[in-house]
Structures are given as structure tokens and as C-alpha cells.
Amino acid sequence: AKAFVNQIDAVAQAQFALDSFATDSQVDSGLSAGSVIETAIGNLAYSGGWTNTEAALYDCASELAGADPSHDKYIFIITDGNPTKSRSAGPNSSCSSCKQHARSRAESIKNS
């Protein structure tokens, strides 16, 4: 992930944000320079838990709402598996509604 940020940062004047998620989601670093995000990535620790992709997408969209409106915006999700929890569905290793909630949130963001 650090190499990915570094490569984008080398060719574009970009801002990045970092959100980690498992059972819950949290913004680890708001919109910042690539070097700040690379450090934040290096400081992440595996927390275990379920995979709440929908919550991560909500946090990412909220963070991007504060970005310069003249810049393109992208969300990249790096995960260890399929969604197994959502904001409205409890943890379940085969949670089909969790997947649908994440897809719906992603579509909503894409269309906004």
C-alpha cells in the first residue's frame, strides 16, 4: 500500500486519506500528503474482527467531501476478504446482505 501511494504521489499533486476497517471503521489520517499517509500505513496494526466494507466506504466518502472540488476523487479498498458485517447487519461469515450494502454504498458514491 505504501508503494502504491508513493507511485501516485510521484506523478500527481495528490492528497490521500487513510481509513482502516474491521468490525468498525475509522479515519486514521485525514487528507494529507503522501508521505504522511505512508507513515500512517506503516503504523497500522492488524486488529482482527469482521469486514465492514460499507462502514469504510461511508468514512471515505465523508473524508472526500472535504477535498478540493476541482480534483478527481478515487477510493481504493484493500481488504482481506468479502464483507462480513455492515452498518445494519450483524457479523456473519456468509453475509450476502453485507455484500449488497457495500455494493450499494459504492454505487451511491460513484454516482454522486
Full pLDDT tens readout for the chain, 112 residues: 999 999 999 998 899 999 999 999 999 999 999 999 999 999 999 989 999 999 999 999 999 999 999 988 999 999 989 999 999 888 888 889 999 999 999 999 999 8
> What's the rounded Cα separation, in Å, for the pair 87 and 102?
9
Neighbours of 21 (CB within 10 A): 25
Confidence at residue 94, expressed as pLDDT on a 0 to 100 scale: 84
The x, y and z cell numbers of residue 85, run together, are: 458485517
Confidence at residue 15, expressed as pLDDT on a 0 to 100 scale: 93
> What's the rounded Cα separation, in Å, for the pair 78 and 94?
19
Confidence at residue 88, expressed as pLDDT on a 0 to 100 scale: 87
pTM: 0.90
